[in-house]
Structure 1
Amino acid sequence: MTAPDPTPPTDTAGERPALVAPNFITEIIERDLQSGKYPRVVTRFPPDPSGYAHLGHVFASLLDFNTAQQYGGQFNLRMDDTNPELAKQEYVDAIAADLKWLGLDWGEHFYYASDYFGRYYEYAEQLVRQGDAYVDSVSAAEMSRLRGNATTPGTPSPYRDRSVEENLDLLRRMKAGEFPDGAHVLRAKIDLSSPNIKLRDPVLYRIVNKPHFRTGDQWHIYPAYDFEHPLQDAIEGVTHSMCSLEFVDNRAIYDWLMERLKFDPRPHQHEFGRRGLEYTITSKRKLRKLVQQGVVSGWDDPRMPTLRAQRRLGVTPEAMRAFAAQIGVSRTNRTVDLSVYENAVRDDLNHRAPRVMAVLEPVRLTLTNLEAGQTLSLPYWPFDVIRDSPDGLVALPGGERVTPERAVRDVPLTRELYIERDDFSADPPRGFKRLTPGGTVRLRGAGIIRADRFETDEQGRVTHIEATLLGEDAKASGVIHWVSAELALPAEFRLYDRLFRVPNPEGEHSTDDDDSAGTAEHEAEPGHAETAPVAEGFMRYLTPDSRRVLHGFVEPSVAADPADTRYQFERQGYFWRDPVDSREDALVFGRIITLKDTWARETQKAAPASAVPKKAAVRMDAAPQPEPTAAPALSAEQEAEYARLTALGVAEGDARTLARDPQLLAFLSGATTGTTFPQVASWTVNELAAPLRAGGVKIQAADLAPLAEQLAAGQVTTRVARDVLIRAAQSGEAPARIIEEEGLAGGLSPEALTQAIQEVLSGNADKVAAYRAGKTALLGFFTGQVMRATAGKADPATLSAALAAALQDEGGPTR
C-alpha cells in the first residue's frame, strides 16, 4: 500500500497547505507579495540538456515547483540549450519525462533558451551601442591572465576601447560565421578592478561553428550562461530566480544586466545552500564518461544517479519527494549522506511492498516424510506494517485494499524445495542459527524441519539435503525462507550496490563542471574556456562487483501480479521486475535496496581508512593537486617553526604542514595568538589550503577569530562554522556578519535538543515501538525529523548520541 503522506504544515496565512517548510526564501516571497512588488510568484527550473536529470536535480526542481504551487504562482520548465556541442533532443525528452514522473507540472510553460536566440542578440547589440560591451580578440589564456586574481586587479585588453562601429561590425560578422571558433568573444565592459572577479568583463557571446539540434546552422555565436540566464528570466516574467550558493558572485552580473537593459519589473536571483550527496557524482560530463567507457550499460543503468536509472531501479516518486522534504532549505552548503536517500526509499517501500519468498542461490532440500503436496495460505504483510496502516487496510499486489484476513496468497509446499545455500552449513560457525546436520530451523509459514543427511559434490559443495518436517512439535532458533522446487518460477536476480565506494569519489581537489543542485547548471562552454581541464580520478573509486547476477527461483504467486509490483523478498531486500529486460517467460528482478543499511560498516572493514579521500564541504580549487607523497624531514628552520606552533596549541599534524608551507604560514601570521589560534590554524590547513594556493581567499586570518570563538562557545555548530568559513573566503564578507544577518548563531541548548527529540518521539510512537522492536533503519527518519524541528541547528554528533539514548530508554516519551 502507498505510504500515507505526512500532514503538511499550513502557511502563515492558513489559506493553503505549505508544500515548502518556512525558510528565508519563503520569507522574501511573502514580503514581496505583501508589498505589491510582484502580482504573483513565477519560478523556473533550467536544466542543461547535455545529459539526463539526476538526483541533484530532485531537491532544486521540487523547491522551484513547490514554491510556485504554495503561493498560487506559475512554474516554468526551461531547457538551457545554449551549448550546441552537447545539447540533444534525447536529453530534453528524458529530462521532461523524468521530471513529470517526479510530480512536476508546468502546463504550457515549457521553454527553451534557444526560443530567444534572436532577442538575446538584439540585447547584445544594444549593450554595444550603449558602450557596455565590446568584441575582444585575445586568446583564452591571455584573457585569463589579464583578469588578474584576488590580490591583483585586471588589466584592460588592447581591444577594450574599440569603437561602437567596429564592435558592431565584428559582432555581426561573428554572427554571420566569418570567423573560426575562439577568434573573438563579446565581453561586457564592467569593472576590471572589482574584487568580484566575475565582474571583470565577463564573456557574453562566443563563436561556436556547430549546428544546434533545434536551430541547425542558423547561429554561429551562442550566449554565455551569465548572459542568457537573467535575460530569459526577465523575458518569461520570472520573479524569484533560485539557484545554489556557488552562483552568489554571478548575481552581480545578473543585476548589472537588469540595470543596463532597464527591465521593469525585473527578476531577482536568490541563492540557497547547495545539497551535495555522498557516494555520488552528478557532473553530467563525468556521468557521460561512465556511459561512453562502458562502466555502466547506459544512462538508465540502475546504479546511475539519474532519475531514469532510479525509475528503472524501482524507486518511487513518493520516496524521492519524501527525501527532498527531509533536506530543508538554508543559506549554508550541506553534504547529505546517501543513507538519508536510501532510508527514504526503504520507508516508502516498507508500506508498499507485499512480502513473498525468493531463493537467489538455491540448494535442493527434500522433506522425506511429506507424502503429498500442500497449499499454504500465507499473509502478504507482517503485523507491524498492518498496525501502522491508518485505516487498518492493506494493499494486494494489484492495488486493491483489503482487510488483513484477505491479504494472503497461496504458496505450494511440496516434497522437493529450494532453500538458500547460505542457510545450511555442514560445519557451522559459532552462533549459526540456521540449518545444520541434526539441527532444526523453521521454514517460513510451513513448520519446523530437522536436517538428517546431506550430499556434496567433488569440490565439497552441498548439493542436496534430506530433512524431516516436524511441524510445530519442536524448537528452532531461526527462520529461513524457501520455495517449491517443482512449482517455483525460475528468475534472474540482479543485486545492485553503490557505484562508488567512498563518500567523495571526485576527490578533495576535483572541480565540478556541473551544478549538482541542478538549479543553474551549465557545462564548460566551448570557445573561450575559463577553467583548466579537470584530472579524471573518480574512476579509481568504483565499487568492485557493484552489479551481481544470480539465478534462482521465486514463488509462483508473482505470476499473476502486475509487472510493476514492488516486493520485499523475505530476508533478501526489496525487488521488482526490471522494466527493460524482464518478460513473462524470462523473469528478471532487480534489487531496489537492501533491507538494512549495513553498507558503510562493511566498507570500513573492507577498505583501509587511508583509501577514502577526505570530504570537502565546498571545493574552491580549480586545478588538480598532486598526489600526496612521503613527507621529507623538516629543516632546522622548519623544526623551530613547528615547535613555536605546537607551543601555541596547534595540532602536531597541522603544525608540520604549516612549517613546510610558506604560503599558508604567511596567511596564518595575521591571526591573533590566543585560545582561538589553534582553530584558525586548523581551518588554514584543512579548509583554506587549496584556495589559498589558487589565490581564491578574500579574507584575512584575523577575521576568523570571532568565528572560532562562537564555535568554541557552542553558538554555532561545526558544520555551520565550516560553511560560513568557506562562504566568507569566497565572498570576502566577515564571518560574524554572515552569522548575524542569517541568524545562524545561538546553536541549540541541550534542553532545547532534548525537548525537540521528545516531541518527535512522542509524535511518532508507532515508529519508536518499531525501532525498539528491531527496525533500526528508522534512525534516519528520526534524525531528519529532529533536524527539521530544530531548523538544522542541532549538532549532528550531539544529536546522534542523544537520539540513540532516547530511543533506548524504554521509559521514554512513548509510554
Structure 2
Amino acid sequence: MTDTPSTPDAADRKPLVTPNFITEIIEKHLEEGKYPTVVTRFPPDPSGYAHLGHIFASFLDYRTAAQYGGKFNLRMDDTNPELVKQEYVDSMVDDLKWMGLDWEDRLYYASDYFGRYYEYAEQLVRQGDAYVDSVSAAEMSRLRGNAHTPGTPSPYRERSVEENLDLLRRMKAGEFENGAHVLRAKIDLSSPNMKLRDPVLYRIVKHPHFRQGDAWCIYPAYDFEHPLQDAIEGVTHSMCSLEFVDNRAIYDWLMEKLAFDPRPHQYEFGRRGLEYTITSKRKLRRLVQEGKVSGWDDPRMPTIRAQRRLGVTPEAIRHFASQIGVSRTNRTVDIAMYENAVRDDLNHRAPRVMAVLDPIKVTLTNLNAGQTLSLPYWPFDVVRDSPDGLVALPGGERVAPEQAVRDVPLTREIYIERDDFNPEPPKGYKRLTPGGTVRLRGAGVIRADDFQTDDAGQVTHIHASLLGEDAKAGGVIHWVSAEKALPAEFRLYDRLFRVPHPEGENATDDDDSAGISEHDAEQAQTPVDAGYMRYLTPDSLQVRRGFVEPSVLSDPSDTRYQFERQGYFWRDPVDSKEDALVFGRIITLKDTWAKDQKAEGAKQPAKKASSNVAGDAKGISGEGGAEAQKAQPKQPSLSPEQEAEVARLTALGAAEADARTLAKDDALLAFVKGAVQDASFAQVASWIVNDLAVGVRAGDVKVKAADLAPLAHMLAEDKITTRVARDALARAAASGDAPAAIIEREGLNAGLSDEDLQKAIEAVLNVNLDKVEAYRGGKTALMGFFTGQVMRSTGGKAQPQKVAEALKAALEG
C-alpha cells in the first residue's frame, strides 16, 4: 500500500504533517516563490538494515514533500566502501517501500556522482579553498586545537595549487597507501565551530566498492558529498537531525564556494529516540556478529525487516509515525506509544481463535460423542464499533457478524493451559479448582471432579464433568480439542533490552558519544563499546510447544490472530510450514512491563517521554472472562465531539497522541483551552499531558496555561535548556508565578560562560581520572557519563551540545 496523495491545492493541503517550524519555512518559501516546488530526500547509509530510528526522519521527509505537492527522493549514502553492501541496499529499498514510501523513479546513490564530486574537489583546489594534507590523523586532531585554543596550520596548508592538484590526482590514481594524505577544505582554523577547522573532504580507502568495484580508491566525506548531492538533485529543504547542526556551516560554505543557484538549505529537527531500543547500526551489527540474535530479521531486533517478520503492519508503523511531533529538541518517545499503535491496529484486524501453549489434558467424562461448535471470530465490542456493520474473515472478506464464524471441535479429551488449574488456589483465583467450576469459551461450564499427578507432584490429567451453559462459573478459559487440534511451536518474544536507555541517559541514538553522528563514527572506525549488552533481557525468546484449533489451517498464511488470553500471533513467514506450524507472538494483549519498569526504575530512572499515551496500554475487551475483563478494562473509543476536538488540537500543532489524551479528559481540555494558539502550542500541550496532568486533575496546578507560551518560546530558541524549562514549569505550577518570570528573576536564562563551563569540565575530569584514562583507551561510551556529570555540576544551565563539544576537546586535546 502506497500512502501518496495527489498534488493538493495551496488552499486545501491535506495535513500529512502537523504544522511545525519546517512547514512554516516551506510555506514562506513557496509564498515568496523561492523554489518552484518542494524537493526532499531521505539519505540512509546502507551499512545495515533500515530500523525504527529511520521511521520519524523518513516519514518527515516523505510526507512533507507530499503535503506540498513536491518530490521525494530516496538516496543511498554509499560512501564507505568497507561497510556498504548490496544486501543492505536491497533490504532498505524493500522495507521502505513496504512502509508506504514512494520515490517513483528517484532512487539515487552517492556513488552515482563520484566523478562529479572529484571535479568539484579539483575546483576547490584551483580556487585555493582546499589542500592536500600529509600529517597523521592524531597530529591533525592535535593541530585543530580545542574550544579555547585556535587551531595551528598544518605545515602542508600552504602548498601551491599545482602541488595540491598533483598530489590529489596521484591519490586518485592509487599511488599512496591509506592514511598517507587527505584532502582538506581551507576554511578557518580559529573558528569556534570545530567543524570549520579545515574539515577532511577526501580520504584514501583502498577497498573495492560494491557498485564501483576498484574504480576509486579515494572516497568523499559525508560533509562534502551530502550537500553536493542535494544541490545536484535539486533538493530544496534538506532535513537532518540535531547532531548535524554544526555541520551546516560546512554545507553553507560549499554552496557559496561552488556558487550553486538555486541552492538547497539544511534544517535540523530534534531526534526521536525510542525507549528500550538501540538504533546504531554499528551496535546492531555487533549483536548479529556475536550471535546475540539470529540475524537482522530476528523479531526482537528494531529493524523494519524484523518488525515485518514479527507481524507488525505498515499501517501500524505509519500511525505511530503520525503521532510524533516535530520540534527543535531531542526527545525519547515512550515505547508504549509504538506498542499501542501495534495493538490498536491488530485489535480490529486479528480474528479471535484459541491456542493452548502449555497444555494439560482434561477428560470430559460425561461427553460421549464429539460436537462441532460454531464460534464467532469477533467479540461484541469490535462488531459494535464496525463503521459498516461488517467484520472480516481471516482472508479479509467482510461479512455480516453472524457469518464470521468458524467450526471448533469439542471432543471428550481437550487441552487447557496448565496455569488454568490449581489444586491449591490462592485467594481470588477464578479458574479451575478441585470441585470448582469454570466456563470453557463457547462450550459451557465444566467442574473438576478429580486429577492425577506424577511423582514430582505435577498435575498430569484432570477429569471433569460438562455441566452445560446454565451452570454458574466465576471465570472463562480457552481450550482446544486434544484429538483435532494442530501441534504448533509458539515463540514468545520480549523486549531485547530490559532498561529504557540501554546506551545511557545522555547517549544519542546513533553513537556512543553525544553529538557525534554515526557517519563520523563509521568513517573514523570508532570502537563500539559493548556496555549496552549488559542490559540484554534474559530469555527474551521463549519457545512453547502446544496446540492450536484446526480452523487456522485453511486461513491465509499471513493472517494475524488474537489467541484468546495469550496475545497477538501469526505464522512465522520464515520457519512455519503446513506440517510444522510455528507462530510468533507479535505483541501481548496489554503492557506487561509496567511492574518491571517500576522496579527497574530504582536502578536506572526512565526519561519522561515527550509524547506519551496516558494510562495503561489499551486492553482487549471481551477476551478471557471476568478476570481478564477486570485486568484489561476496555478503553472507549472517542465520541464524535471528542474526535472533532482532536482535529482542532492537532491543527493547532499538538501531537496526535497528546491531542487524544486532552480530548478525552475534561480537566486537561479545560486547562489547555487557555493556552496561546501560536507556534508554542505543541510544546505547551506536551507539557500539560506529560508534566502537569496529575496536578491539573487534582486542581493543584496554579499556573495558567497562557503563561506557558513564553517558556516554550525560550526553549525553542535555545535560550534555556530542557532541564531549566522543566524546573521552572514545576515551580510555576506550585506557585502560580509565570515560569518565564521565574527564569528572568533568578537569572536562569543567563546560560553559562565558556570560562565557567571549562572550570566545571576540569573539575569533573580531575575527580574521574580513571574514567578519563578509560575513555582515551577507547571506551568512548563514557562521554555520556561525563556529559551527565557536567550538566549536574552546572545545575542544568549548560547547553548539552556545548558540553559535548567542550568535553570532546578536553578529552582528546
Partner of residue 581, structure 2: 587
Q: 1:780 to 1:598 in 2, by over 3 A?
A: farther
Q: Deviations over 1:272-307 (max 9, x none)?
A: 111011100000000000000000000000000000
Asked if the contact 1:57/1:519 (under 8 Å) is kept, the reply is no
Q: 1:761 to 1:204 in 2, by over 3 A?
A: farther
Q: 1:266 to 1:352 in 2, by over 3 A?
A: same
AA partner of residue 242 (structure 1): M
Q: 1:328 to 1:487 in 2, by over 3 A?
A: same
Partner of residue 654, structure 1: none
Q: Report matched runs for 1:189-338 at 5 Å.
A: 189-338=186-335
Partner of residue 480, structure 2: 483
Q: Report matched runs for 1:429-440 at 5 Å.
A: 429-440=426-437
Asked if the contact 1:45/1:519 (under 8 Å) is kept, the reply is no
TM-score of the aligned structures, taking structure 1 as reference length: 0.76
Asked if the contact 2:508/2:514 (under 8 Å) is kept, the reply is no
Q: 1:211 to 1:532 in 2, by over 3 A?
A: closer
Asked if the contact 1:505/1:613 (under 8 Å) is kept, the reply is no
Match among 420, 436, 441 for residue 438 of structure 2: 441
Partner of residue 694, structure 2: 801
C-alpha distance in 2 between matches for 1:524 and 1:63: 24
Asked if the contact 1:358/1:553 (under 8 Å) is kept, the reply is yes
Partner of residue 682, structure 2: 791
The answer to whether 1:97 aligns with 2:81 is: no
CA offset at residue 797 of structure 1? 4.0
SS at match of 1:107: coil
User: CA RMSD for the aligned pairs?
Assistant: 3.1
C-alpha distance in 2 between matches for 1:384 and 1:522: 49
AA partner of residue 595 (structure 2): R
Partner of residue 177, structure 1: 174
Q: 1:516 to 1:233 in 2, by over 3 A?
A: farther
Partner of residue 389, structure 1: 386
Q: Report matched runs for 1:374-773 at 5 Å.
A: 374-508=371-505, 510=507, 513=510, 522=519, 524-526=521-523, 529=524, 533-605=527-599, 607=600, 609-610=602-603, 612=604, 763-764=641-642
C-alpha distance in 2 between matches for 1:169 and 1:456: 87
Asked if the contact 1:360/1:553 (under 8 Å) is kept, the reply is yes
Q: 1:550 to 1:780 in 2, by over 3 A?
A: farther
CA offset at residue 799 of structure 1? 5.0
AA partner of residue 406 (structure 1): Q
CA offset at residue 245 of structure 1? 1.2
Asked if the contact 1:386/1:404 (under 8 Å) is kept, the reply is yes
CA offset at residue 337 of structure 1? 1.4
SS at match of 1:792: helix
C-alpha distance in 1 between matches for 2:662 and 2:286: 34
C-alpha distance in 1 between matches for 2:253 and 2:283: 33
AA partner of residue 450 (structure 2): R
CA offset at residue 10 of structure 1? 12
C-alpha distance in 1 between matches for 2:273 and 2:357: 35
C-alpha distance in 1 between matches for 2:488 and 2:256: 64
Asked if the contact 2:566/2:589 (under 8 Å) is kept, the reply is yes
AA partner of residue 104 (structure 2): G
Partner of residue 352, structure 1: 349
AA partner of residue 340 (structure 2): N
SS at match of 1:801: helix
Match among 29, 34, 37 for residue 34 of structure 2: 37
Which stretches in structure 1 are left out of the alignment for 5+ residues?
618-716, 720-757, 769-777, 807-815
AA partner of residue 543 (structure 1): T
C-alpha distance in 2 between matches for 1:248 and 1:47: 18
SS at match of 1:463: strand
C-alpha distance in 1 between matches for 2:70 and 2:132: 40
Asked if the contact 1:284/1:514 (under 8 Å) is kept, the reply is no
Q: Deviations over 1:631-655 (max 9, x none)?
A: xxxxxxxxxxxxxxxxxxxxxxxxx
Partner of residue 367, structure 1: 364
The answer to whether 1:162 aligns with 2:55 is: no
CA offset at residue 805 of structure 1? 7.8
AA partner of residue 159 (structure 2): R
CA offset at residue 507 of structure 1? 2.0
Asked if the contact 2:278/2:509 (under 8 Å) is kept, the reply is no
Which stretches in structure 2 are left out of the alignment for 5+ residues?
613-635, 647-655, 673-680, 700-813
C-alpha distance in 2 between matches for 1:240 and 1:553: 54
AA partner of residue 609 (structure 1): A
Asked if the contact 1:563/1:577 (under 8 Å) is kept, the reply is yes
C-alpha distance in 2 between matches for 1:779 and 1:21: 12
What is the count of residue pairs matched by the alignment?
650
Asked if the contact 2:7/2:69 (under 8 Å) is kept, the reply is no
CA offset at residue 15 of structure 1? 2.8
CA offset at residue 798 of structure 1? 3.9
Asked if the contact 1:358/1:555 (under 8 Å) is kept, the reply is yes
Task: Name the stretch that deviates more: 794-803 or 779-788.
Answer: 779-788
C-alpha distance in 1 between matches for 2:452 and 2:29: 78
C-alpha distance in 2 between matches for 1:575 and 1:517: 38
C-alpha distance in 1 between matches for 2:241 and 2:69: 23
C-alpha distance in 2 between matches for 1:762 and 1:518: 45
AA partner of residue 264 (structure 2): P
CA offset at residue 553 of structure 1? 0.4
SS at match of 2:683: coil
CA offset at residue 546 of structure 1? 0.2
Q: 1:784 to 1:228 in 2, by over 3 A?
A: farther
C-alpha distance in 1 between matches for 2:45 and 2:514: 12
Partner of residue 641, structure 1: none
AA partner of residue 337 (structure 2): V
SS at match of 1:465: strand
AA partner of residue 454 (structure 1): F
SS at match of 1:232: helix
Q: 1:519 to 1:587 in 2, by over 3 A?
A: farther
Task: Name the stretch that deviates more: 367-376 or 588-597.
Answer: 367-376
Q: Deviations over 1:320-341 (max 9, x none)?
A: 0000001111111110011110
C-alpha distance in 2 between matches for 1:567 and 1:151: 61
Asked if the contact 2:487/2:547 (under 8 Å) is kept, the reply is yes
Q: 1:522 to 1:613 in 2, by over 3 A?
A: farther
Q: Deviations over 1:8-33 (max 9, x none)?
A: 99989443422111111111111111
CA offset at residue 779 of structure 1? 9.2
Identity over aligned residues, as a percent?
78
TM-score of the aligned structures, taking structure 2 as reference length: 0.76
Q: 1:779 to 1:490 in 2, by over 3 A?
A: farther
CA offset at residue 791 of structure 1? 1.5
Partner of residue 767, structure 2: none
CA offset at residue 762 of structure 1? 6.3
Partner of residue 57, structure 1: 54
AA partner of residue 683 (structure 2): G
C-alpha distance in 2 between matches for 1:144 and 1:785: 54
Q: 1:17 to 1:805 in 2, by over 3 A?
A: farther
